[in-house]
Amino acid sequence: MTERKAVALPNLVTPNTPVIFNPDKCVGCNHCVEVCQIDVFIPNPEKGNPPIILHPDECWYCGCCVNDCPHPGAVKFNWPLQQRGYWRDKETGEVFRLK
Amino acid sequence: MTTWHDFLLREGKVPDWPYPVNYDTGQEIEGDVLVVGGGIAGCWAAISAARCGARVILVEKGDTIRSGAGGPGCDHYCDIPTNPLSKVDPDEWAREMTGPYTNGIGTQIQCREGYDTLLEYEQMGAKIRDDKDEYLGVEGRDEKTKFLVSPRQNKDHCRNTVLRVWGSTFKPALKKECKRLGVRIFDRVMVTGLLNEHGIPGNRVVGAVGFNNRTGEFLVFKAKATILCTAGNHSLYVLNTELSGYNSFRSRTMTGDGFAMAWRAGAELTLMETTGPLVLGLGFRHTWYGGAGDASYENVQLVDANGKKLPIPTQGWRDGSMPDAFLRLLPTIREGVLKGEYALPFYGDFPAMPPEEQRATWYMMLREESTSRIIVDTYSAAGFDPAKHQLMSYQLLEGDSPKQWRVPGRGGVLVDWNLRTSLEGLYAAGEQMFAARDHSFCAATGRYAGRKAAAYAKEAAEPVISAEQVAKEKKRIYAPVKRSSGIEWKELHAGIGRAMQYFCSEYLTDSLLRLGLQTLEEIEEEYVPKLYALDPHKLMRSLEDLSLLTHAKIIIHASLARKASSKLLDFYRIDYPEVDPQEWNKYIVIKNENEKVVTRMLPQYFWGDMKKNYEAHNQDYQGVYRGK
């Protein structure tokens, strides 16, 4: 196992990953940074890379960052665990949950 | 790498602040009309004033492209009885919608001009019709106009006052039109205070000051007329600032800034004593369409775990009910659950609907409404199919909702038939007005206020701002960045929320309210001077806390002034238990005069004859925009 250096960090705000960027598809255009009304993101210091999630605790899950992304597949919504809902198949009764 | 701590672990340092920080620099911007808040009402006010020839400044805390409650979308355009399919008279419908403690002025404007705003949305490139024939066969679809009429308030197609729309296309269209008209937009700027002539509250409003929440830059706006288009306040009672899915209709940014600014400038406010339980998604409940609120089952029949229909009228064509039907029936259903009559959990029975209605509800209505597009998209991608699946409702699974989690209610700035406030030069529109309503209300009143403010600005004297008032506000704004320890915005927010939950919640008495006021004053004296902010973003959140604090005090003052209970206002005084006694069946108007709270009363329907007054004030109304 690769040894990982431990650093002294305060507890992280949670949940802290409202979206997951795909670095292969995201070109760092920062459109999501602009459409977010509360500044969840900041631009990455390295141009062309996905933005950094700085204020995830303020996210209201409006989805505009994903809805308006001009590069399909570059950013995926990631519902917090406690917000993942349920549905069932009317015929079989099998219950599913958003994974 | 997406998260902040990934960056830290990889780079061995925290990211630098990405924007240049200039707390001490600033600029002064001058115009005819200043619009504070770039949501639906604000954008419409700016567009309308610009079309009247005014030089317009629009200031928005987020980015105008998607900001505000209406930024992500809107599925229903309500109360537009001048649409060609309507079966009701606009003036009669406005009166019908105007009960006690409502806003007859705004409702009359909405009913007369709301449809015109919808047509103007279309001119701007937004989508309002099923022009690609995607929803052929859906009940309420009109082939000639290609409008989709909603079943809302529309039993057996009796009214046709509400249209289903593609509201996710609206906000970008508004921003584009603002730019086309030369409106000077200042995004990411929080306005913190209004400026009065000679710096004296109660005098004419001549502009505002604010700061950029990315760079910290100080901005002074000087204008002949100002339109307050800020929103309500949905976090006042919230203790936990890490509640994800914070509120499915309102974001963190809506913190009562407008109430606080109007109060400090000396404007009159009314209905400020109203609060109500927070029923929509709040962190520990699911977001809308995930479950909380369950107005999501508009048009969708709810069934119990065994498939038995619940006695809830959906807003379908056969009953045409309002979205609050579930809440009204909740006590009966709760009793049924406890007796074993209905089994938990409940489900929305999409497969029971005709296929075209399933599609229109899931893929069009829900996908266009507020924040729910992303819900529909992620659930669809995960396999949810409305033809086969029933969506779980979370109502009653957690027991009763805690009633101390409340939201401020119908309070807002008092306006006249010009949508002018009690202060010369200050106008208000949208949710900033008392007893405001929905998206089309905000659009219509914003557009109306824009032309009235522009007309005033044409005749008004040059504004003169007070350097002393500007300096005082600048000092107030930047105090938190001068400290790096003390109390941070999150703790202050929670402290204010706790004071309101304890002393201004479901049970009200004079002594509880006074204890609340005492707590808030103590917070102001002891803790506000210790407030610290480490960057411009946190400075914004800190200043928002100060808005919360002022708003909270106004609510308590107004609550102390109403010495009666009221079912209509969801306002219950244990020490004045009589409900809606005749002598208190009035609006309490409240203002801050020389740091003293002054109140007066206005009767129900104080706006007079709605049709007559609307027509008297709008003889020059031009209808739908015909300019280039």
Q: Could you read off the pLDDT of B364-400 as tens digits, one per residue?
A: 988 998 888 888 999 999 999 999 999 988 878 877 6
Q: Which residues contact B617 (CB under 8 A, 6 or more apart)?
A: B417, B418
Dihedral angle sign, alpha carbons of residues B261, B264, B265, B266: positive
The C-alpha atoms of residue B506 and residue B519 are separated, in whole angstroms, by 18
Determine, yes or no, domain membership for A63: yes
pLDDT (mean) for B49-68: 98
A27 in contact with chain B, both atoms CB, cutoff 8 A: no
The C-alpha atoms of residue B172 and residue A31 are separated, in whole angstroms, by 13
Q: What is the pLDDT of residue B291?
A: 43
Determine, yes or no, domain membership for A6: no
- Which chain A residues have a beta carbon less than 8 Å from that of B15? 42, 45, 52, 54
Contact assignment for B4 to A16 by CB distance below 8 Å: yes
Determine, yes or no, domain membership for A89: yes
The first and second tokens of residue B549, run together, are: 């604090």
Give residue B499's identity as a one-letter amino acid code.
Answer: A
Q: What is the pLDDT of residue B242?
A: 74
Q: What angle do CA B144, B146, B147 make, to 5 degrees?
A: 115
Q: How many C-beta atoms surround the C-beta of residue A90 within 10 A?
A: 18
Determine, yes or no, domain membership for A11: no
Determine, yes or no, domain membership for A64: yes
The C-alpha atoms of residue B65 and residue B334 are separated, in whole angstroms, by 42
- For A79-88, B127-136, B212-221, B414-423, which range has the lowest pLDDT when averaged over its residues? A79-88
pLDDT (mean) for B239-246: 67
Identify whether B151 is preceded by a cis peptide bond (ω within 30 of 0).
no
Give the residue from B548, B614, B558, B559 showing the smallest Cα distance to B268: B558
- Which chain B residues have a beta carbon less than 8 Å from that of A68? 66
Give the CATH number, domain containing residue A75.
3.30.70.20
pLDDT (mean) for B200-217: 98
- Which chain A residues have a beta carbon less than 8 Å from that of B286? 83, 85
Option in B251, B345, B389 nearest A62 (CB): B251
Q: What is the pLDDT of residue B295?
A: 45
Q: What is the 3-state secondary structure (H, E, C) of B292-343?
A: CCCHHHCCCCEECCCCCECCCCCCCCCCCCCCCHHHHHHHHHHHHHHCCCCC
Percent helix, strand and coil across chain B, each to the nearest 5: 35, 15, 45
**Residue of B2, B302, B369 to mutate, interface with A, max A Cβ within 10 Å:** B2
Determine, yes or no, domain membership for A3: no
Complex confidence, ipTM:
0.95
Contact assignment for A88 to B2 by CB distance below 8 Å: no
Tell me the residue range of the domain where A78 lies: 19-97
What digits encode the pLDDT tens for the residues B18-42? 999 999 788 999 999 999 999 999 9
The first and second tokens of residue B285, run together, are: 């409940």
Burial of A74 (0-12, 13-18, 19+ CB in 10 A): buried
What digits encode the pLDDT tens for the residues B577-614? 999 999 999 999 999 999 999 999 999 999 999 999 99
Nearest CA in chain A to B350: A90
Q: Which residue segments constitute the domains of chain B, with CATH numbers given? A: 295-393 (no CATH), 472-597 (1.20.58.100)
The answer to whether residue B341 scores a pLDDT higher than 50 is yes
The C-alpha atoms of residue B205 and residue B424 are separated, in whole angstroms, by 6
What digits encode the pLDDT tens for the residues B92-123? 999 999 999 999 999 999 999 999 999 999 99
Q: For B517, list phi and psi in degrees, rounded to 5.
A: -65, -40
What digits encode the pLDDT tens for the residues A43-68? 999 999 999 999 999 998 899 999 99
Contact assignment for A37 to B18 by CB distance below 8 Å: no
What digits encode the pLDDT tens for the residues B438-474? 999 999 999 999 999 999 999 999 999 999 999 999 9
pLDDT (mean) for B272-293: 64
Option in A21, A34, A61 nearest B371 (CB): A61
- Average pLDDT of chain A to the nearest whole number: 92
Nearest CA in chain A to B63: A37
Option in B244, B252, B389 nearest A38 (CB): B252
A66 in contact with chain B, both atoms CB, cutoff 8 A: yes
Query: Of all residues in chain B, what percent carry a pLDDT higher than 70?
Result: 93
- Which chain B residues have a beta carbon less than 8 Å from that of A18? 244
Determine, yes or no, domain membership for A14: no
Determine, yes or no, domain membership for A93: yes
- Which chain B residues have a beta carbon less than 8 Å from that of A28? none
How many domains would you assign to chain A? 1
The C-alpha atoms of residue B534 and residue B164 are separated, in whole angstroms, by 45
Within 13 Å, how many C-alpha atoms sit on residue B182's CB side? 10
